[in-house]
Amino acid sequence: MSFSWLTCSLLLGTLCAGYSLGEAETRECVYYNDNWRTERTNQSGFERCEGEKDKRLHCYSSWLNSSGTIKLVKKGCWLDDFNCYDRQECVSMEENPQVFFCCCEGNYCNERFTHLPDLIGIGNRVKIRPPPRVPSLLNVLVYSLLPLCVLSLALVLALWMYRHRKPPYGHVDLSEDPGLTPPSPSVGLKPLQLLEIKARGRFGCVWKAQLMSEYVAVKVFPVQDKQSWINERDIFLTPGMRHENLLRYIAAEKHGSNLETELWLITEFHERGSLTDHLKGNTVSWGDLCHIAETMSRGLAYLHEDIPSYKGEGPKPTIAHRDFKSKNVMVRDDLSAIIGDFGLAVRFEPGKPPGDTHGQVGTRRYMAPEVLEGAINFQRDSFLRIDMYAMGLVLWELVSRCTVTDVGEYMLPFEEEIGQHPTLEDLQDVVVHKKMRPAIKDCWLKHPGFEPDV
């Protein structure tokens, strides 16, 4: 008799501990997609959740509230997010978001969703169903077996803390990067979920993120680089900046306040990364070289073009990039080139003075001789020629990794002459005074594609 009671107590205690902790394994979630026709998915049903072995899975719901009318946007599975831990009810806590979002743990826990401020709002016409009450029998069991529950909870919590020592975001190996890691931005705009840092640059870092069902890139600027963020955002918002070989803009946002302010620029994401990344790990065939060079040239030509009227948006002005290099050229899966990073770009609108057009800007290695010499003519055509010089260096990088030539290790322009970290004086000596250019190998000239036109 005593053995049976002890066994029963242990079983009830374990159930009680699981209930008190609030952690529930998530295997399936309610699924809904308001945009199912465009995305060619099912409209509703159930979704099987899959993820990494040592990560939690959650369910989520997102919806709009227009004057008391609820419009469901999406439901489904959500990746490991500490904001969702130990939540059995799907409740949105934000005051007045653009898109309401909630997440929870447990199978089908996103079937119902609520907005917490609506529960205390006066005169709100939206009726929110309160969370279901716990059965009274369970309350009796909780109080009667409280000591055992506390012990079980402590054991489960210790195990959970051991298994989740890593943060849910930031797959960055600090041992490989001696530099300071930028602070991990908080996930402010739901359902935008930051995943991992992909690159660091002059103005901040770039994150891979998930926006609903789409992967996006989030470029994070510290507040001291606000002007660069404003400039790049304004370039993206220029009429006519939608082109297949220019990076697609999604949004610009401000997060945090005071010294903790971060400025976000959200664009499309490309898994292959930059042309620099691609050439470091891959050689290219003659066909690949021609395709990358053609699409890159088409994008830069369009950026430089002055279009009087663009699909009713107004005129598209000439834009000079001013920091053209292989690291600022993204590569699609089909090896099409996409030009990005417009933080230093400048517009030349008829009848208006250009913006900040001081001379020595951009990456030193790709600076034209007149820029290094400080003898630049601050006119539209001068800046366009500077971009063309830089693109010539990028084409040299492409040729150096082409399989129809004598392929060696990937090297940046002038790396063989002055190393990986040249100073401004090094480049002035080589490019301006000695008038040197990256070497053209004899074997390159033997290929019919490189023969000069007669």
- Over residues 283-302, the pLDDT tens digits come to 999 999 999 999 999 999 99
- For the question of residue 177 being annotated catalytic, the response is no
| Residues comprising the chain, all counted | 454
Residue 350 has pLDDT above 80, yes or no: no
Residue 95 has pLDDT above 50, yes or no: yes
DSSP designation for 129: P
DSSP designation for 429: I
Residue where a domain stops, chosen among 115, 150, 182: 115
- Evaluate whether residue 349 is within a structural domain: yes
Which has the higher per-residue pLDDT, 18 or 139? Answer: 139
Measured distance CA(247)–CA(269) in Å, rounded:
9
pLDDT at 178: 32
pLDDT at 162: 54
pLDDT at 220: 92
Percent above pLDDT 90 for the chain: 39
For residue 70, give Cα distances in angstroms to 78, 102, 117: 21, 14, 15
Which has the higher per-residue pLDDT, 141 or 306? Answer: 306
Residue 127 has pLDDT above 70, yes or no: no
Which has the higher per-residue pLDDT, 8 or 174? Answer: 8
Longest dimension (CA), the chain: 104
pLDDT at 395: 96
pLDDT at 188: 42
Question: What secondary structure does DSSP assign to 59-117, as a single string?
Answer: EEEEEEEETTEEEEEEEEEE---GGGTT--SEEE--SS-SSEEEEE-STTTTSSEEEHH
Which of 219-233, 320-334, 336-350, 356-370 is least confident?
356-370
The total number of structural domains in the chain stands at 3
Annotated catalytic residue: which of 80, 323, 341, 387?
323
For residue 412, name the pLDDT band (cuts at 50, 70, 90): very high
Asked if residue 134 lies in contact with residue 124, where contact means CB atoms within 8 angstroms, the answer is no
Exposed, middle or buried by CB within 10 Å (0-12, 13-18, 19+), for 349?
A: middle
pLDDT at 367: 93
Residue 354 has pLDDT above 60, yes or no: yes
- Evaluate whether residue 22 is within a structural domain: no
Let me know whether 209 and 68 are in one domain.
no
- Evaluate whether residue 125 is within a structural domain: no
pLDDT at 83: 81
Let me know whether 253 and 354 are in one domain.
no
Let me know whether 251 and 379 are in one domain.
no
Range of the domain at 105: 28-115
Number of Cβ atoms within 10 Å of the Cβ of 156: 16
91-100, 203-212, 357-366: range with highest mean pLDDT: 203-212
Let me know whether 202 and 287 are in one domain.
no
How much is the pTM?
A: 0.60
Number of Cβ atoms within 10 Å of the Cβ of 352: 9
pLDDT at 432: 93
pLDDT at 1: 43
Q: State the Cα angle at 422 between 418 and 427, rounded to 5°.
A: 75
Percent above pLDDT 70 for the chain: 78
Let me know whether 250 and 298 are in one domain.
no
pLDDT at 143: 65
For residue 224, name the pLDDT band (cuts at 50, 70, 90): confident
Let me know whether 356 and 283 are in one domain.
yes
pLDDT at 94: 79
Asked if residue 237 lies in contact with residue 249, where contact means CB atoms within 8 angstroms, the answer is yes
For residue 9, name the pLDDT band (cuts at 50, 70, 90): very low
Q: What's the rounded mean pLDDT across residues 168-178?
A: 31
Asked if residue 57 lies in contact with residue 77, where contact means CB atoms within 8 angstroms, the answer is yes
Let me know whether 104 and 32 are in one domain.
yes
Residue where a domain stops, chosen among 85, 115, 145: 115
DSSP designation for 259: G
Listed residue (21, 4, 24) closest to 151, CA to CA:
21
| Helices 2-21/146-163 angle, 10° precision | 50
Residue 326 has pLDDT above 70, yes or no: yes
Asked if residue 394 lies in contact with residue 438, where contact means CB atoms within 8 angstroms, the answer is no
Let me know whether 372 and 407 are in one domain.
yes
Exposed, middle or buried by CB within 10 Å (0-12, 13-18, 19+), for 199?
A: middle
For residue 85, name the pLDDT band (cuts at 50, 70, 90): confident
Let me know whether 404 and 327 are in one domain.
yes
Q: What is the mean pLDDT of the chain?
A: 79
pLDDT tens, 258-277? Answer: 777 889 999 999 999 999 99
281's tokens: 């790990």
- Evaluate whether residue 150 is within a structural domain: no
Residue 214 has pLDDT above 50, yes or no: yes
Let me know whether 286 and 395 are in one domain.
yes
CA 266 vs. chain centroid, Å, equals: 7
Residue where a domain stops, chosen among 208, 238, 268: 268
Let me know whether 438 and 384 are in one domain.
yes
- Evaluate whether residue 407 is within a structural domain: yes
Exposed, middle or buried by CB within 10 Å (0-12, 13-18, 19+), for 232?
A: buried
pLDDT at 398: 95
Q: What's the rounded mean pLDDT across residues 336-343?
A: 94
Q: If you search the block for the tokens 């908080």, which residue do you land on?
A: 186
Q: If you search the block for the tokens 């298994």, which residue do you land on?
A: 163
Let me know whether 257 and 329 are in one domain.
no
For residue 118, name the pLDDT band (cuts at 50, 70, 90): low
- Evaluate whether residue 128 is within a structural domain: no
Q: What's the rounded mean pLDDT across residues 101-125?
A: 74
CATH code, 385: 1.10.510.10
